A and B are shown apart, each in its own frame.
Chain A
Amino acid sequence: MFRAIWAWIQRFSSPKYFFDMSGKLVPWFAIAAALIGVYGLYLGLFVAPTDYQQGESYRIIYIHVPAAWMSLFIYVVMAVSAAIGLIWQIRLADMVASASAPIGASFTFIALVTGSLWGKPMWGTYWVWDARLTSELILLFLYFGYMALQSAIEDQRTADKASGLLAIVGVVNIPIIHYSVEWWNTLHQGATVARIGKPSIDINMLVPLLLMALAFKLFYVAVVLVRARNEVLFRDRSRRWVREIIEKL
């Protein structure tokens, strides 16, 4: 039984199988991300009502919050993949972890900058060292650390081990970011959507927010597949099947 499951995992996590399958999936994820993103932007910018406290400035929410969610989500994907790579020696998992890092860093950067641009008119400052902002900045440095270790260590397996370990240790930061607005007295506002009971947000604001979150997630899947495919081509460049594929490209 376990042997059968293991054989199944091995088959589906083989870089060749992944490369063939993912190539077909990328355009679908990309198209879905674009369509849902455009519709989400339309609802968010044209249809959603003005906030009674923050006026039109609140519309930054439609990129800030989805980007912040993605920064956490991608980190968890990266750390779990790195752990799978470390424990079960599944090479594809290391490739997914490595492919995720720059995308996660991008979303963290977007969350920080849009948050800053939202903070200026609402709080009167671009930056404060409050718990939410500081822990999100640490997240950006964790991504950078992972990427630095990946590129600094010549031997791929050693690089995966070292950077993977960093990714796993850094997971501690994820609940800190999430609960920071409850644990500490932050300038950053509390959760509006992810809370027990009803979200404290108008339905006409919530729908575009969730659509944008979905669009960002689909965007991540499309880009991570492209990057993971690049990892396969590069890491397996001396294998025959890769060379045969590359000759045709």
Chain B
Amino acid sequence: MNGTEFSWSTFFAMGGYATFVWTSYGLTAVVMALNVILSLRQRKQIIRRVKRAVRREKLQTQ
């Protein structure tokens, strides 16, 4: 990409390796996003579960 004027279509073409390069980058983005989403979802689930357990215990002691 040096020496010539920048163009988005040559950029996305990746010198003919577009499939391999962009699949790699896309898949990495998906896996990393999943790490974030699943970790935050796990947090919500634990909070919900503990809250439910606390409520149940309170009902039993009443």
Residues of A within 8 A of B (CB): 45-46, 49-50, 55-57, 59-60, 63-64, 67, 102-103, 106, 109-110, 113-114, 117-118, 120-121, 219, 223, 226-227, 229-230, 233-234, 237, 242-243, 246-247, 249
Contacts and interface: CB of A to CB of B under 8 A. Distances in A.
Contacts of B40: 226
A152 to B, nearest CB: 18
Contact of A113 (B21, B27, B32, B50): B27
B43 A102 contact: no
A219 B38 CA distance: 14
**Majority DSSP secondary structure for residues of B touching A:** helix
Interface residues of B, number: 32
29 contacts: A46-B1, A46-B6, A49-B1, A56-B1, A56-B14, A56-B16, A56-B21, A57-B14, A57-B21, A63-B24, A63-B25, A64-B24, A109-B31, A110-B32, A114-B27, A117-B20, A117-B23, A118-B20, A120-B20, A121-B20, A219-B32, A223-B39, A226-B43, A227-B39, A233-B46, A233-B47, A234-B50, A242-B50, A243-B54
A79 B11 CA distance: 41
Contacts, number: 93
Contacts of A67: 28
A97 to B, nearest CB: 16
A102 B46 contact: no
B36 interface: yes
